[in-house]
Amino acid sequence: VEELLGEPAYPDLKSLPEKPDIVDVFRAPKHVPDIVDDCIDLGIKVLWLQEGVVNVEAAEKARKHGITVVMDRCIYKEWISLRGGATP
């Protein structure tokens, strides 16, 4: 896939044209170690693993490399909570 909904798509983090502020993972937990390795290589500061995406060993490795990790949480639900439950 080179494009999705009119936006460019990339096969992996290393193919992105610029470094993201956060990596939000919607992949099976078995894929997280490779994503963590890419985050370490690229100097990513925040890794968010969505609900159901739990890989404790990979999260510990990321933290040891200075990456802030949020695991098994929905970024949208957290955003709504911070807004006092108000949706856009």
Condensed to tens digits (0 to 9), the pLDDT of residues 45-68 reads 999 999 999 999 999 999 999 999
Residue 23 lies in a domain: yes
Q: How confident is the model at residue 84 (pLDDT cuts 50, 70, 90)?
A: confident
* Number of domains forming the structure of the chain: 1
* Angle, CA of 19, 22 and 32, to the nearest 5°: 100
Query: What is the C-alpha separation between 2 and 80, in angstroms, rounded?
Result: 31
Residue 24 lies in a domain: yes
Residue 72 lies in a domain: yes
Q: What is the CATH number of the domain that holds 76?
A: 3.40.50.720
Domain that holds residue 64: 3-82
Residue 8 lies in a domain: yes
| pLDDT for the residue 32 | 98
Residue 49 lies in a domain: yes
Question: Hey, which residues does 8 pair with through a beta bridge?
Answer: 3
The DSSP symbol for 15 reads G
